A and B are shown apart, each in its own frame.
Chain A
Amino acid sequence: MMQWIAFLFFASMTLLSALGVVFLSNIIYVILSLLSTLVMVAGIFFVAGAELVGALQLLIYAVAIAVFYVLVLTAVPWEKALKKDSHYRIEGVLTFPILLAFYLEIILVFLLGVSVSPKGQIREFIQNLGNTQVVGSILFSKYFFAFELVSLVLLVGMIGAVLIGRKEDKTYEDSTS
């Protein structure tokens, strides 16, 4: 009973703030409702008993990722943030089919994942070991290849970021003198 009330609260708040992301005009409000969506999704994870996933959702999405939007926005001039009409209308219309394809892919992957996911086999592990250990042992046994692949992709991304962000001294020197 309590679980249902909490779930309904978090789910409805998630939907409301997701609608806010789409419909609000002031971009600072948009970012705040995105933040609220992410926090509420973490709440849903907590209700479902996935404490580790919930905490990581808070730590990574709600803090580490959303904060960069806020940092960018604080550099946006005041008048631009209050601008009412959209900036990229034609681009928005053009990218709509691609976006639709992405959503279809997400739904497809979700359905496939549901059909192959083990039903009730992991529950026993969780009761014996606790959330964190189960996630760790599954990541490092069953999904080890995917895990390593993802970490490789992240490493490449990090090296790229370092390369872009480095100071370019002595590049334009000695051409005139």
Chain B
Amino acid sequence: MGSLFVQLLVIGIKILVILGVVLGLGAYLTWVERKVAAHIQRRPGPMVVGWHGLLQPLADGLKLITKEDIFPRTGNRFLYNLALVLALVPAVLVFAVVPFGPEFEFFGVKVKPILTDVNVGLLLVFALGSMAVYAIALAGWASNSKYALIGSMRKAGIIVSYEVVITFAVMGPVILAGTLSTYEIVQQQINQKLWYIWLQPIAFVVYMFAMLAETGRVPFDIQEAEAELVTGFTVEYGGIKFGLFPLVEWYVEVLSLSAIAVVLFLGGWSPINIPFLGFIDPLFFLGPLSPFVWFVLKVALLFLFVLWLHWTLPRYRIDQITETAWKVMLPLTFVNLVLTAVLAPIVWR
């Protein structure tokens, strides 16, 4: 009974920590994004609220919460609100299978810093990731507005195309690791002394494309396209309900997909890797904290890369986006998959 209680307590703490970190970080990444965007455009960005605008997200949150809740007269209120829940829940659930670091002991209790280490973790990630389609389609339909409907249809088309691509892109690392569990994949990379990005560069590039498309980041932010569609499927949402969609899409989903990319291609919590030789850890002085710092650093690097693209590139047309998915990305992943499947058993094991 005692051990069961301890286990439940550990799970509860993990859930609280993950929820707090993800949602809090998601809110604060708006500040990071505005600062980065400002410096790319050679202006200072938010400076007034707090030191270098550090309290800006809180001020924005207050403003959004106290705004009037506007609802289109002929819309469907139940579906309109359900879309919010459907957007937030799967995006946060993905973090249940993200391993943040190696197993450690805390007051005699062995703790794995991952909520559930299911042995089909990766499949769950992509199942939950594509649940976002429902939120977007419903948001567009329930708003009863042309702009919203067009935006949601575009986004749904993109997600359907790139979901196929991303699933095939991750099959390369899965073949190399021989497991679908996220924790085990990182463990395999450490055992084999090799980040899979060195063997799967094509898969990594395709994964990054698909990640940009799924999260609606530039150059694939056609569902938003403020010049032609105002803001796509969020037109009819107001106040904090409007704030929730970009929070989920642009921050929580980018974070979760970056974390999965780090797990699959960049060796999770392992330090810098030299292929087949070993790992170099310039942060060795942090002791047991160093794996966690490495994980956060890599995710932050990928996030900044996404921001960099977002504030540099123009956007594609919708037909170009879907054509790239089906005619370029998918054949590339097939070639990669077949090559990996043929070569891996010969060279690898």
Contact = CB atoms under 8 A, between A and B. Distances in A.
B137 interface: yes
A63 B137 contact: no
Interface in B172-200: 180
A131 B140 contact: no
B347 to A, nearest CB: 21
Interface residues of B, number: 30
A78 B127 contact: no
Contacts, number: 70
Interface in B106-154: 118-120, 123-124, 126-128, 130-131, 133-134, 137-138, 140-141, 144, 149, 152-153
Contacts of B126: 59
A62 B137 contact: no
Interface of A: 28, 32, 35, 51-52, 54-56, 58-59, 62-64, 67, 70-71, 73-75, 78, 130-132
Contacts of B76: 28
A52 B174 CA distance: 15
Contact of A63 (B131, B144, B149): B131
B251 to A, nearest CB: 22
B160 interface: yes
- Tell me the dominant secondary structure on chain A's binding face: helix
B119 A70 contact: no
A97 to B, nearest CB: 35
With most chain A CB atoms within 10 A of its CB, the pick from B118, B120, B131 is B120
A142 B41 CA distance: 62
17 contacts: A51-B120, A54-B120, A55-B120, A56-B123, A58-B123, A63-B163, A64-B130, A67-B134, A67-B137, A71-B156, A73-B141, A74-B149, A74-B153, A130-B119, A131-B120, A132-B120, A132-B180
B156 A55 contact: no
B74 interface: yes
Nearest to A42: B127
A73 B156 CA distance: 12
